Structure 1
Amino acid sequence: MFRSVVVVLFVVLVLPVSGNAGALQVNTSIKPPFSTVDETGCIDQLLKELGKRLDQQINLVRLPPERALIVINEGKSDMELPRIAGLEKKYPNLVMVPEKVLDYHFVAFSRTKTKYDSWDDLKGMRVGYIIGWKIFEKNVPPEADVTKLRQPLQLMEMLEQGRIDVALYERAAGQHIIHEKGFTTIETFCTPLADRPMYLYMHNKHADIVPVVASHLRAMKEDGTYSKIFTSQQH
């Protein structure tokens, strides 16, 4: 009897999650430089490595931010990233993997030298951000004139054209658009309105493997794989 228990524990704790159950569908709305069409961004590489360690195929599905949350909450996909902590309060079928994927720096972009160092600085301003970005929905003051858009490029184009005063977005992703499109009038405020660790969420039907996924993410950081992936992105 004791020997049988030992064998069972070995199977549960040591063997990888099997890929026999089919591919895991991962929602994301993340944009370059973190994720690219040819899947060479740092998040793309991180997911591929995670799939190898889980012995599981991972398929990336690109959806708008708000739609992505609805889809996974309904159990129509398996994972969603990257997201701020605490979303399970609004989406009860989600389980956060308790190991951060990366840090996001939420900043203001503007066409003037005016500094936006706090949320209160946005009062009375024409502010744009992407639909489904919960941190902006929660923190932008009601005194701001808000325009919500579906695509980051639309957001930056509206700012470039002077149709909004401030565009709120992630720093590296916004700078990527500015550089790629050659926008010359937009200022990036390097002091973030907020810095947040970003996480991967899973539908609660996969709650049993959440600790396994977290352990693989930690192992990547400990063995240098994580650093290698994210350092290569900077070159």
Structure 2
Amino acid sequence: MKKIALFFLAACMLIPAVGMAAPEYTFVRIENLPEQEIGERLLKEVYKRAGIEIEVEAMSGVRALEAASSGEKDGEALRIWSVGEKYPSLVRVPTPLSALTTQAFVRKDSNIKLSSPDELKKFSIAITRGVAHTKDITAGLENVHEVPSEDLLMPFVQAGRAEVALTSLENGMVILKNAGITDVVPVEQPLKVHPLYHYVNEKNKNLVEKIDAVIKEMTASGELEKLQKQYAEDILNK
């Protein structure tokens, strides 16, 4: 009888608990960026509607690209268009999932005005290492400082070590709020607006058509935009 009980206990331990199934796919995103946090929430909703369980891990921009492009992870939550050109092993889902701005932030007393990316060459610039949209817009410029973490951008400009910090509008406003910095402000208009796309590693290219169909449906209904605004407000009001 004791042997039967032990056998039954061992068998039960091998049966997965209800609701405890492991995610089918694990994607990555850049850590400490509001637009990436928004993208993670949007992506989970998209996959939920496709009937697929996923997990999203946050890591540095450089590490995320390595993990996604090598196949260590299943893809990137969202990145700009150029990532798909530079990393052939990452397959772009055609319909944008979200969007971000490349926004300049300057000291309030600097009187710096920027209306186009071409004007950046006049100034010293701070960007975050591993963030593609700011890396692309400063390509070929000489006076560019790469900081290892987003939260160092605004203090870098505040201290006069660079004249302009580049990041997304949402991220910049969160950094300023969290750091209590009031003498660094965004310029009036963004330098560029980028659609953001979901990427899967080539081993998962079978996902593209199904996920694209869900994104298209949510875009057409206006639900994707509504959720993006809701998630952005949630982050700014933390």
**In 1, distance between residues paired with 2:174 and 2:122?**
28
| SS in structure 2 at match of 1:105 | strand
Structure 2 matches for 1:77-96, cutoff 5 A? 77-96=73-92
Equivalent pairs counted in the alignment come to: 211
SS of the aligned residue for 2:161 comes to coil
Q: Deviations over 1:196-234 (max 9, x none)?
A: 111111101111110111111112223443233123235
CA distance in 2, matches of 1:193, 1:232: 24
Q: Give the partner amino acid of 2:29.
A: T
Alignment match of 1:67 (pick from 63, 77, 80): 63
Tell me what 1:3 maps to: none
Match of residue 125 from structure 1: 123
Partners in 2 of 1:146 and 1:183 — Cα distance? 22
1:171: Cα distance to partner? 0.9
Identity of aligned pairs, percent?
26
1:52 maps to 2:53: no
Matched, 1:99 2:95: yes
Distance 1:143 1:205 in 2: 36
Q: What does the per-residue CA deviation read over 1:17-56, in whole Å, with 9 as the maximum and x for residues that have no partner?
A: xxx89531111015454355xxxxx333312212312322
Structure 2 distance, partners of 1:223, 1:188, is 32
| Residue number in structure 2 paired with 1:13 | none
Gap runs ≥5 in structure 1: 1-19, 37-41
Matched, 1:108 2:109: no
Matches of 2:57 and 2:219, distance apart in 1:
25
Aligned-pair CA distance for 1:173: 1.2
Q: Are the equivalent residues in 2 in contact too, given 1:51–1:57 (CA < 8 A)? A: yes
Q: Which piece of structure 1 moves more, 151-160 or 199-208?
A: 151-160
Q: Is the 8 A contact 1:30 1:82 kept in 2?
A: no
Instruction: Give 1:179's match in structure 2, choosing from 177, 180, 201.
Output: 177
Contact 1:82 1:200 in 2 (8 A): yes
Partner of 1:168: 166
Aligned with 1:233: secondary structure?
A: helix
Residue 215 (structure 2) aligned to one of 214, 217, 221: 217
Match of 2:27 in 1: 26
TM-score normalised by length of structure 1: 0.81
For 1:169, give the aligned amino acid: T
The alignment's C-alpha RMSD in Å is 2.1
Aligned mate of 2:231, from 218, 230, 233: 233
The CA distance in 2 between the partners of 1:213 and 1:52, in whole Å, is 10
Alignment partners' CA distance in 1, 2:135 and 2:39: 24
Q: Which amino acid aligns with 1:77?
A: K
Q: Higher helix proportion, which one? A: 2
Normalised by the size of structure 2, how large is the TM-score?
Answer: 0.80
Q: Could you tell me which residue of structure 1 aligns to residue 150 of structure 2?
A: 152
Which AA in structure 1 matches 2:137? N
In 2, Cα distance between equivalents of 1:177 and 1:101: 24
| Partner secondary structure for residue 144 of structure 1 | coil
How many angstroms apart in 2 are the aligned matches of 1:138 and 1:234? 24
When residues 137 and 48 of structure 1 are mapped into structure 2, their CA distance, relative to the original with a 3 A threshold, is: closer
Distance 2:22 2:179 in 1: 42
Name the residue aligned to 1:10.
none
Change in Cα spacing, 1:33 to 1:21, as seen in structure 2 (3 Å) is closer
| Deviation string, structure 1 residues 138-190 (Cα, Å, up to 9, x no partner) | 33264431111221101122112221111010111111211222111102013
